[in-house]
Amino acid sequence: MACVAHGNPPPTITWLKDGKVIEGTSTRLQDKDGLLSLRAVSAQAAGQYTCHASNAEGNVTRVTKVKIKGPPVIVAPPQSISVNISQDALLQCQAYADPPNMTYVWRKNGENVYHTESLKSRVKIMVDGTLLISSVIPEDSGNYTCMPTNGLLTPPTASANLTVMHPAQALQMPPQTYLPTGMEGVVACPAAAQPPLLRVDWTKDGEPLDLSMYPGWTLTPAGSLFMAAVNDDASGEYTCTPYNSYGTMGSSGPTDVILKDPPSFSITPERQYKEEAGQSLLIPCQGKKEDPTIKVTWSKVDLVRRTSYSVLANGSLLLQPLTKDHQGAWECVAANRVAAVKTSTRVFVLGTSPHAATSLSVSPGVKQANISWEAGFDGGSAQTFSVWVKKISASGNDGKQGWYSVHVPLKSGTKMHVANLSSNTDYQFSILSQNRMGTGPFSEIVTTRTLDAPVRRGKPKPPLSLSANQSSAGIILHWLPPEAQHPSVTAFVLQSRADQGEWVILDENIGANRSEMVVQGLHKQDRVYELRLLSRRGELLSEPSPSVNVSTVGMDSYPVSSQLLEYVPEPLLAGVLGGVGFMGLALALLLGSACVVSRKMGRRCRR
């Protein structure tokens, strides 16, 4: 849509849709000349468009209306509903279209409702698209699709489910049910129930069936009669009656249980066959000739891609010509109308390239990975392996962004240690096998991530600015804590020495938050001591701080620490000291009294 405006100064053109400014997007493009392009228009593009031109002297607008012609648009899709049996069901579907010559088509499970035998006499499509189903029956349950159309392009569709609620209904039973003698057997009770089935009652030869009279007979959750080992007791006429919370619509028709011998083999294949590629391989498998109803079939187990083979009239498997794809397990099944039995064999095709390795396992480390796998069939000659590696989350360019291979030495077998990887990086691994006939297919690809490199924890840093001052309380040390580090220090250790002798620990558990202390443990008088501090983290010590010299010359007292007293509680210590003092006082009084008494006795003696 073009919009050209003239003015001085040149005007600016803006487009609006339904009063809102149109931004430049992939569906609406506005160029500098005022041309508005709508790409791949849909019903949402319809509306009122306004061209607004303005400059410093004024503005002017022009309006146009856009209509979109195309297939209908569903505005009220049908909703899933549940209806009781014999009631009417309504499924609404409303749409609009331009041109409006619109008709509605309804389908049940993909088939036109007017072509469905059980529906066509009870359905009606209203003018507004609503589907009316009169007097619903259980068979009306299903998925219904509304499709409005006006003949343009592809019409839209919308679906909903109709559920008919009804008592449990027994469906048609087969006139005869054949069971295999001596094997497991099942007599099914086909039923339709909405709400779901609650129970099924059975009769045998016109009498209610008492399961306690038949060891090994049980009812399955679906109401079927299960027999662990079929014998002569199973013969007879059976009926079933299903129930749900709405009740039942009656019993089923009768079915006659007839016993028949299960199939068996007269010839079975060997456990395995080995043959060169290009040759013919015939594997026998035959059912007993006494039972002409036995049918023998063959199939390849774990079939990766289709392989050509043929089954002869006598049940034998013919592989001709033998190819690499025939390698693997094969299964022979003999079946008659009551049961099926099977046997298996394995075919090895020689003279081919190796088969793919399986069960690839990767155990990653920090910069390495341990690889293990199971070797596939070697094709009849010795095979070698190589590990293929690809980095898929590379940081930087180390020249190994694509696949590269690592040869596996023969002595390594089916294990390999791959080194020189990057830590914390995603890698893909695959195994390639090779023999004298060629290279086999790659194994499955396994993706794994190497581990993070462990965090190296260095030694703690020593305290800073150690200094010593002499006071009446003794020698006081001051220091600054070390630089912040992780993990942090847990304590400080104080060491001393005299006369360049051995360093002695005075205190090894100085709190990590302290920055000063009174030095204890300097026992000798008139001596010069050298002191230093170390940081401690657990058992790990830092380098020592620069030492300081202190002198005890002229000091009257030297604080001494007692390891014993440090662990005595203060109340107990006070009690002990008080007791010692009291005993000393009592002893002094006793000695004084003894002296007084002694003097008095001396005087008496002299008299």
Give yes or no for residue 583 having a pLDDT over 60. Answer: yes
% the chain with pLDDT above 70: 90
Which helix (H) or strand (E) element contains residue 423?
none
Residues 437 and 366 in one domain: yes
480 within 8 A of 465, measured Cβ to Cβ: yes
Tell me, yes or no, whether 576 lies in a domain: no
Mean pLDDT of 76-100: 95
User: Measured between alpha carbons, how far is 332 from 71 in angstroms, rounded to an integer?
Assistant: 55
Give yes or no for residue 372 having a pLDDT over 90. Answer: yes
Of residues 166 and 562, the one with the higher pLDDT is 166
User: Measured between alpha carbons, how far is 589 from 234 in angstroms, rounded to an integer?
Assistant: 116
Residues 275 and 252 in one domain: no
433 within 8 A of 358, measured Cβ to Cβ: no
Q: Tell me, what CATH number does 543's domain have?
A: 2.60.40.10
Could you tell me the residue range of the domain that residue 20 belongs to? 12-66
Tell me, yes or no, whether 287 lies in a domain: yes
Indicate the residue among 231, 260, 289 that finishes a domain. Answer: 260
Chain-wide mean pLDDT for the chain? Answer: 88
At 180 the pLDDT is 95
Give yes or no for residue 50 having a pLDDT over 90. Answer: yes
Residues 418 and 470 in one domain: no
Residues 231 and 293 in one domain: no
Tell me, yes or no, whether 560 lies in a domain: no
514 within 8 A of 549, measured Cβ to Cβ: no
Tell me, yes or no, whether 569 lies in a domain: no
Bridge partners, 14 (sequence order): 52
At 25 the pLDDT is 61
Name the pLDDT band for 306 (thresholds 50, 70, 90).
confident
* 242-293 pLDDT tens trace: 999 999 999 999 999 999 999 999 999 999 999 999 999 999 999 998 889 9
Tell me, yes or no, whether 186 lies in a domain: yes
User: Measured between alpha carbons, how far is 474 from 355 in angstroms, rounded to an integer?
Assistant: 86
Quick one: tokens of 6?
């003239």
Torsion (CA) 518, 523, 524, 526 in degrees, nearest 10: 20
* 394-450 pLDDT tens trace: 554 554 578 999 999 999 999 999 999 998 999 999 999 999 999 999 999 999 999
* 1-40 pLDDT tens trace: 889 999 999 999 999 999 999 876 655 656 667 888 888 8
Residues 524 and 474 in one domain: yes
Residues 286 and 311 in one domain: yes
427 within 8 A of 446, measured Cβ to Cβ: no
Residues 309 and 365 in one domain: no
Burial of residue 24 (number of CB atoms within 10 Å: 0-12, 13-18, 19+): exposed
Residues 308 and 370 in one domain: no
- Which residue from 131, 169, 330 is spatially nearest to 253, judged by alpha carbons? 169
Name the pLDDT band for 568 (thresholds 50, 70, 90).
very low
Residues 362 and 443 in one domain: yes
Name the pLDDT band for 605 (thresholds 50, 70, 90).
low
Burial of residue 499 (number of CB atoms within 10 Å: 0-12, 13-18, 19+): exposed
Which helix (H) or strand (E) element contains residue 599?
helix 570-606
At 556 the pLDDT is 56
Domain count along the chain = 6
Residue keyed to tokens 């298996």: 344
* 447-473 pLDDT tens trace: 999 998 876 667 888 999 989 888 777
Burial of residue 484 (number of CB atoms within 10 Å: 0-12, 13-18, 19+): exposed
At 276 the pLDDT is 95
At 576 the pLDDT is 61
* 142-173 pLDDT tens trace: 999 999 999 998 999 999 999 999 999 999 99
Indicate the residue among 132, 166, 200 that finishes a domain. Answer: 166
Mean pLDDT of 223-237: 96
Torsion (CA) 117, 88, 168, 106 in degrees, nearest 10: 40
At 539 the pLDDT is 82
Of residues 539 and 135, the one with the higher pLDDT is 135
User: Measured between alpha carbons, how far is 473 from 86 in angstroms, rounded to an integer?
Assistant: 107
Mean pLDDT of 347-362: 95
Tell me, yes or no, whether 457 lies in a domain: no
At 173 the pLDDT is 95
Give yes or no for residue 491 having a pLDDT over 60. Answer: yes
Quick one: tokens of 45?
């593009």
**CB contact set of 596 (below 8 Å; sequence gap of 6+):** none
At 564 the pLDDT is 36
Residues 324 and 367 in one domain: no
Amino acid at 399: G
Indicate the residue among 202, 226, 260 that finishes a domain. Answer: 260
The rounded Cα 511 to chain-centroid distance in angstroms is: 48
Residues 254 and 292 in one domain: no
Tell me, yes or no, whether 366 lies in a domain: yes
% the chain with pLDDT above 90: 64
Give yes or no for residue 593 having a pLDDT over 90. Answer: no
Tell me, yes or no, whether 606 lies in a domain: no
